[in-house]
Amino acid sequence: MIRALRNISRKWLIIVLIIVLLNLTWGLVLLMYRHYSTVYAKALDSYLMFSLDLAERIELGEKNIAISPLSVYAALLMLTEGSDSNTRTELLSALHLSSLDEARNWFNDMLKVLLDVSEPAKLDIANSIWIQEGFPVNKSYVDSLKENYLAEVLYADFKHDPLGAAKRINKWVYDKTHKFIDKIVDPGSIDYMTRIVLINTIYFKANWTRAFEEVALGDFHTNDKVVRVRYLRGIMKVHLLKERNYTALSLDYKGTDVKFVVIMPNNGNLVDFIQGLDKDELLGILDRLFSSKRVTVNLYLPKYDVDSGILSLKEALQELGIRSVFHPQKADLSLMVEGGQKILYVRDVLHRARVKVDLAGTEAAATTAVTLTFSAELLEYPMVKIDRPFIFLLVEPKSYTILFIGSIINPPQ
């Protein structure tokens, strides 16, 4: 059964796409798009375009995977706050923003709407900045993260205890995601040169307004074969769109206006469907879906629990034009550092998302970590090159006792 579930591919993956791209934000954000000013509509456009750009570059539609563009977006906004010159230009361009002001206002107002939930639903979003003890971080940068992103300021000793620092960060993520995600960094992603780590977490859990009745086995058509999978089955009230090239539906949760949305291309070609899905078309589908009348259907929905594992987004973000921030000699993150020193660059942007859909409802969590490393090679130390014959000594420094002495006239070839 596990093998069969793993073989589920393109059609089934649209569920993951919409859960993560839409389930946490877009149903509610669409309401803001309708009712807020042009500034907010423009910021929403930027976010949706970034979400679709990112989705195209992580093999969405080609394998079982989940991401949260909102988590990545929040982490990159915090990174952008500390950037300058060409690095800032690249980040803003990839985020489809002309300035941070529009994004800050939209992001904060969007959070107020999203976090307005009641029991039994839960939706938590948390940000943090982890700083090497004693590192000269710019106070105004930290204050900006606290004010605009409600970021928690924490300190760690990456230099002397990177393993311990990684454990503390993972524990923080584990707690903020209600024990749903246990790790985002490991000793391979944090080392003694790490100086700052930016973290975002999102956690969502809600029950269907009416639970599914049973789990039933049934056929699922992948791209090249038919497999047996477990379906959630129930008589459900849904918003439903049956169009020529796709079928879409949405389910409601208790305690939140967030919607669970599924869009299934009728021909089974999910990759082409995603590649042809732009911002305006997606908004049009959602608008028609949410404004349609509810109908009662006998719904079969695959039961699943998908965990992306820890993904490196470095290559995907570089494809989006964010390049200099990853280069030790080109990154300009001077607004993070006292005195405006250019001594940091981004080693990686790590992301992990998990989505579980069962009889009762949906549980989903995501976290993004931006690891910033000290650029030792940027410090302009004088060069000393021993490139002529020399003597060497081993000396006890208190008594100046010479233990060994020698010379090198012609080093071994």
The two tokens of residue 206 are: 């809600």
User: Which is nearest to 347 in space by CA: 201, 197, 143, 180?
Assistant: 197
On whether residue 189 sits in a domain, the answer given is yes
Model pLDDT for residues 163-184, shown as the tens digit of each residue? 999 999 999 999 999 999 999 9
pLDDT of 159 strictly over 90: yes
On whether residue 146 sits in a domain, the answer given is yes
The CATH number of the domain holding residue 81 is: 3.30.497.10
Instruction: Look at residue 65 and give its three-state secondary structure.
Output: coil
On whether residue 401 sits in a domain, the answer given is no
- Using CA atoms, how far apart are residues 403 and 413, in angstroms rounded to an integer? 27
| 351: β partners | 311, 368
φ, ψ dihedrals at 158, nearest 5°: -65, -35
Domain that holds residue 128: 2-207+304-375
How many structural domains compose the chain? Answer: 1
On whether residue 112 sits in a domain, the answer given is yes
User: Which is nearest to 67 in space by CA: 311, 320, 271, 319?
Assistant: 311
On whether residue 232 sits in a domain, the answer given is no
On whether residue 36 sits in a domain, the answer given is yes
Model pLDDT for residues 133-144, shown as the tens digit of each residue? 999 999 999 999
pTM listed for this prediction: 0.84
Q: For 235, how many CA atoms within 13 A lie in the half-sphere containing its CB? A: 1
Q: Which residues have CB under 8 Å from 158's CB, separation 6+?
A: 132, 165, 190, 191, 192, 193, 194, 195
Share of the chain above pLDDT 70, in %: 82
| 129: β partners | 153, 198
- Using CA atoms, how far apart are residues 11 and 180, in angstroms rounded to an integer? 26
Cis peptide before 382 (omega within 30 of 0): no
On whether residue 356 sits in a domain, the answer given is yes
On whether residue 258 sits in a domain, the answer given is no
- Tell me the CA distances in angstroms from 157 to 29, 134, 136, 367, 372, one per residue in order: 39, 9, 14, 22, 14
Size of the chain, expressed as the number of residues it contains: 413
Higher-confidence residue of 79 and 22: namely 79
What does pLDDT average to over the chain?
A: 84
Average pLDDT over residues 66-73: 91
